[in-house]
Amino acid sequence: METMPHHTGLTWRRSAVFSVVGVIGIGVQLAGLWVLKGRLGVPLLAATFLATEIAVLHNFAWHVHWTWADRPASARETLGRLVRFHVTNGLVSIVGNLLLMTLLTVYLGLHYLLAHLISIGACALANLVVSNAWVFRPDWDGDGQAEPCGAEEPR
């Protein structure tokens, strides 16, 4: 079965590619956190924010060119997608990571890198669903307004 529920256009392939991008993004985020906190001495929550932002931008670029490459967009729409990606994935990742990092490191005493891995994993599924349904929606027209759904994604 290649396609998940038809109304979503979310395929197993797209989910797998999203996961690969996410795993690469985890490496980017952990490396960023290690450099910022471990080597440069940036305070933990500031370093977490910056590392997460770097990973969000990294992941967006990969998603545009690989995960949702079948949903091309103009430069203007790509900018709109970047804004939507930040509002959704960025917000979920940044707020989720900050809250979970505080809980896991301050209150549960976990090492910051292990806590960060757990935090990233906790945000991933929500980001996939929101990205597919809203950020990279195939039926956005040039003015950023959604058109009625109806056409299925080609198989």
How many of the other CB atoms lie within 10 Å of CB of 24? 14
Q: How confident is the model at residue 94 (pLDDT cuts 50, 70, 90)?
A: confident
What would the mean pLDDT of 18-32 be, rounded to a whole number?
93
Rg (CA), the chain: 17
Q: Report pLDDT digits (tens) over 97-136.
A: 889 999 999 999 999 989 988 888 888 877 888 888 889 9
Q: Say how far apart CA 128 and CA 1 lie, in whole Å.
A: 19
Mean pLDDT of the chain: 83
What would the mean pLDDT of 77-94 be, rounded to a whole number?
89
Q: Which residues pair with 140 in a beta bridge?
A: 146
What would the mean pLDDT of 57-61 be, rounded to a whole number?
94
DSSP state of 78: H
Q: Report pLDDT digits (tens) over 29-39.
A: 999 999 999 99
pLDDT above 80 (res 23): yes
What would the mean pLDDT of 24-52 be, rounded to a whole number?
94
On whether the CB atoms of residues 134 and 92 are closer than 8 A, the answer is: no
Q: Report pLDDT digits (tens) over 64-75.
A: 999 999 988 999
pTM to 2 decimals?
A: 0.70
Query: How far separated are the first and last CA of the chain, in Å rounded?
Result: 11
- Which amino acid does the sequence have at 43? P
User: What percentage of residues in the chain have a pLDDT greater than 70?
Assistant: 83
Query: Which pair of structure tokens corresponds to residue 25?
Result: 């993004």
Question: What are the backbone dihedrals phi and psi of residue 123, each rounded to the nearest 5 degrees, phi first?
Answer: -95, -15
